[in-house]
Amino acid sequence: MMNRIDQEQADANTVSTDQLIDMYRWMITVRHFDRRAVHLQRSGRIGTYAPLEGQEAAQVGCGFALEKRDWLFPTYREHGVSMVHGLPMATIFLYWNGRPEGCISPRGVNIFPIAVPIATQLPHAVGAAWASKLRGEDTVTVGFLGDGATSEGDFHEAMNFAGVFKLPVLFFCQNNGYAISVPLAKQTATETIAEKAAAYGVEGIRVDGNDVLAVYEAVKWAADKARSGGGPTLIEAVTYRFGSHTTADDHTRYRASDEVEAWREKDGIERLRRTLVERGVWSDELESDAWERADRTVQRAIDEMLSAPPVDHNRLFDYAYAKLPQQLQDQREEMRTLYGDGGGK
């Protein structure tokens, strides 16, 4: 069975005005973070980066619907929901700066390290959900994915296992229309992602991913269901990335500019701003203040990232093997001969 929640069904009265404003401020902060990250990559201060501009409503709405105790299993594009869930912005910058500490969440922030291989985090999310169920914990796990991940075997295995054991896990798919340059219609024959859930005895929801309230309601409903023993849910948040897949990609080679502009008219940030203005709780002054606050917050995180001491180059050899093979031991000694111990570039 598949439920559909669209913009008209989203009820702005399900959250308070203060919470709506908080959501909006977060969406602005996430967008400013994203734009600054792209600029940092272009100036050589971080590595290849995966932008999320256009998907802020999906991520912030999801984050607000979860509890602090819940676990996130992100892809490489979940910067927004990770911030809302408590991951420090500086930690995210350190990750994209290529630093090991960027993979470590602070104690009490239940977020697994970023998974770059497609869909590999989904069985991890299911395993954590199974452990939670066996322990009798009131915890939900969320496995994040893009539309392209539904073409992977790990998606099938995770969905099947979750359905059989009725696990407290959500599969949150941000369907932004493209798996890098491959459009949705060329990788699946189904009309929607959500309908795939039926094959596994799982409930599927298709939601307007650019409507933060619709996303919030869908995730809150699915999480409440999971906590009460109702099993997993596949949520398809239909959204769009305005830019390229990563900073190593050029979306203009496979997408028409009028398509991008048509989606910009559905921008989730602008839609929520209009709602706040219509309620009489937002103004140009508050708008300017929100962007200035976001700029200060992002700049502090950038400064923290840039001020981190150089990484000890010997850490290059620390994590791949329990016992380093002789060939790599020799390479490590060669590096020490050339550069010595301690920090390096």
Active site residue: 245, 251, 255, 273, which one? Answer: 245
Confidence of residue 12 (pLDDT cuts 50, 70, 90): low
Using DSSP, state whether 172 is helix, strand or coil. strand
Average pLDDT of every residue of the chain: 94
Q: By percentage, how much of the chain surpasses pLDDT 90?
A: 88
Of the residues 241, 251, 255, 313, which is catalytic? 241
pLDDT of the residue at 342:
64
Which pLDDT score, from 0 to 100, does residue 343 have? Answer: 55
To the query of whether residue 95 is one of the catalytic residues in this protein, the response is: no
Inform me whether the pLDDT recorded for 260 exceeds 90.
yes
Query: Measuring CA to CA, which residue among 54, 67, 57 is closest to residue 275?
Result: 57
Considering the candidates 254, 271, 293, 332, report the single residue annotated as catalytic: 254
Q: How many helices (H) and strands (E) does the chain have?
A: 11, 8
If you ran DSSP here, which 8-state letter would residue 137 be given? -
Fold designation for 2-308: Rossmann fold (3.40.50)
Secondary structure percentages of the chain, helix, strand, coil, to 5: 55, 10, 35
Residue 314 pLDDT greater than 90, yes or no: no
* 166-175, 178-187, 313-322: the lowest-pLDDT one: 313-322
Q: What is the pLDDT of residue 177?
A: 95
pLDDT confidence tier of residue 316, bands split at 50, 70 and 90: confident
Q: Is 316:339 a contact under the CB 8 Å cutoff?
A: no
> Has 241 been annotated as catalytic?
yes
Half-sphere exposure of 273 (CA within 13 A, CB side): 17
Res 2: pLDDT: 45
CA-closest candidate to residue 78, choices 155, 26, 144 = 144
Contact 194, 39 (CB under 8 A): no
List, for residues 43-74, the tens digit of each pLDDT value: 999 999 999 999 999 999 999 999 999 999 99
What average pLDDT does the segment 218-245 reach? 97
Domain boundaries, the chain: 2-308, 311-345
Question: CA-CA-CA-CA torsion for 142, 146, 152, 154, nearest 10 degrees?
Answer: -10
**Could you tell me the pLDDT band of residue 11, with boundaries at 50, 70 and 90?**
low
The residue written with tokens 């060329």 in the block is 186
Q: What's the distance, Cα to Cα, between the start and end of the chain in Å?
A: 54
Q: How far apart are CA 22 and CA 16, in angstroms?
A: 10
- Among 4-13, 31-40, 313-322, which range has the highest average pLDDT? 31-40
d(CA 122, CA 159): 8
Whether 90 has a pLDDT exceeding 70, the answer reads yes
Q: How sure is the predictor about 294, in pLDDT bands with cuts at 50, 70 and 90?
A: very high
**Mean per-residue pLDDT, 172-194:** 96
- Answer whether 0.75 is exceeded by the pTM: yes
State which H helix or E strand residue 178 sits in.
strand 178-179
Residue 4 has pLDDT above 50, yes or no: no
- pLDDT greater at residue 1 or residue 104: 104
Residue 245 is among the residues annotated as catalytic for this protein = yes
The pLDDT value recorded for residue 279 is 95
Q: Identify any residues that bridge with 169 across adjacent strands, giving them in sequence order.
A: 141
130 alpha-carbon distance from chain centroid = 22
